[in-house]
Amino acid sequence: MNNINTFSGSLSCEIVTLPIDSKEILYDTSYYGQPKDDILELTLIEAAYLIYKGKITVNSENKKLDFEGFMCEASRRTGNFEVKYIVFKDLRERGYFIKPGVTDFRVYPRGGSPGRTPSRYFVYVLSERQPMLLTDLVRQIITASNVKKELIMAVVDEESEITFYGARLRSMKGDMDNSRSVPAIRASLLEDRVMVWDSKSSAQLHNEFLYGKALDEIRLQLSLIEAAYLLGREVVEIMDSKGRILTPNDFADQAVMVESDFPKKLAVYKDLREKGMVVKTGYKFGSHYRVYKKVDPKKGMLHSEFLVHALDNNYIFNLSQLSRAVRLANSVKKQMIFAWESGETISYLEISRIKM
């Protein structure tokens, strides 16, 4: 110990050990490290921060490491070290107590501390350049949820700014009655959309059930997804341009040639509609769908609550693209939802920007 507030430690593998007399100042008061027998063990990130704060010095192979030397050594010993350090330092200086966790960190609520209150968050740290597997993120969410924690993604950009995101699995449910049946309606597949020719049928589908967009005062255009869903429910009978009646499989085969994402988009659309929601294109917002819990046909579609994007279950997120999607959704007061087929069901993931 060099002075009353500075302790000397030793680097060994991925921990720094300090004499037990450091416990009162570093652990009992500030919750750094973990006491073990007659020593205090620090993680490399905790040690780096305490070197920066002038609270400890660290020796490795009889050589004292300054902050630069320690950071370089630690980054060789553990992956993603520098971005984790940036997040640790940021949260510590915001007044949070932080401990190692099964994601990257366990973070206690403001006013809480280890041994006195439960931790509130599991923090998952990423560099903006890292690809993020959907399966990895879901595993982290489930891990946090199993112990009643909230998962926070901390993404560090190239200028070391941090963006925090809340991520959770959720259910989707609307208040529309989409179960009513109607007589079979004749329609035609033209190229990338389906046309309903009869004025009465067009009005019923559009005004009562909120499908399609009016071409004029008589005819109605349906998207490929809407048409496939209605065909599957035997609401429409669809013919191709030569007058041949198409089965659902025939229609799907032709739709895939126009839109490669058709199968996963249809699976998500079907699930949302059957959960009582109104689903319309989200193209203007860069997503597959904008989704409403309920729409009053007399008032029209005023404000959708969600943007929903359909994914493959092995999808890999590009974090820059994720940032754009979430920022846009939040800026227009919508929730950004990602959806994918999970066995026989559809899973939904909500990601939103949060302030820490």
Q: What is the pLDDT of residue 1?
A: 40
Q: What is the pLDDT of residue 4?
A: 56
Phi, psi values for residue 331, rounded to 5°: -70, -25
Cα–Cα distances (Å) from 33 to 3, 42, 49, 87, 108, in that order, read: 20, 4, 12, 17, 15
Domain end residue (candidates: 244, 262, 280): 262
Strand partners, 10: 17, 59
Q: What is the pLDDT of residue 296?
A: 81
Q: Which amino acid makes up residue 178?
A: N
120 inside domain? no
68 inside domain? yes
The angle formed by the CA atoms of residues 220, 307 and 265, to the nearest 5 degrees, is 60
The CA-based dihedral angle spanning residues 209, 214, 220, 226, taken in that order and rounded to the nearest 10 degrees:
-50
Look at strands 56-60 and 150-156 and give their pairing.
unpaired
The angle formed by the CA atoms of residues 319, 322 and 325, to the nearest 5 degrees, is 155
DSSP 57: E
Q: What is the pLDDT of residue 176?
A: 86
**Annotated active-site residue in 280, 292, 309, 348:** 292
Cα–Cα distances (Å) from 93 to 96, 98, 114, 356, in that order, read: 7, 11, 17, 11
334 has catalytic annotation: yes
320 inside domain? no
6 inside domain? yes
Residue with tokens 């620090």: 42
303 has catalytic annotation: yes
- Residue among 283, 287, 286, 265 nearest 341 (CA): 265
Contacts 24+ apart (CB under 8 A), 18-24: 18/42, 18/56, 22/56
Q: What is the pLDDT of residue 182?
A: 72
Domain that holds residue 239: 177-262
Strand partners, 212: none
Residue 55: CATH number of its domain:
3.40.1170.20
**Annotated active-site residue in 229, 288, 334, 348:** 334
Residues of the chain with pLDDT under 50: 1-3
Our count of domains for the chain comes to: 2
**Annotated active-site residue in 36, 64, 173, 303:** 303
CB count within 10 Å of CB 258 equals: 12
Domain end residue (candidates: 48, 77, 106): 77
Q: What is the pLDDT of residue 2?
A: 44
CA-based radius of gyration for the chain: 28
211 inside domain? yes
70 inside domain? yes
Domain end residue (candidates: 262, 282, 309): 262
236 inside domain? yes
9 inside domain? yes
Cα gap 208→221, rounded to integer Å: 15
206 has catalytic annotation: no
Cβ neighbours of residue 196 under 8 Å, at least 6 residues apart? 185, 186, 187, 202, 205, 212, 219, 220, 221, 222, 236
Chain-centre distance for alpha carbon 86:
22
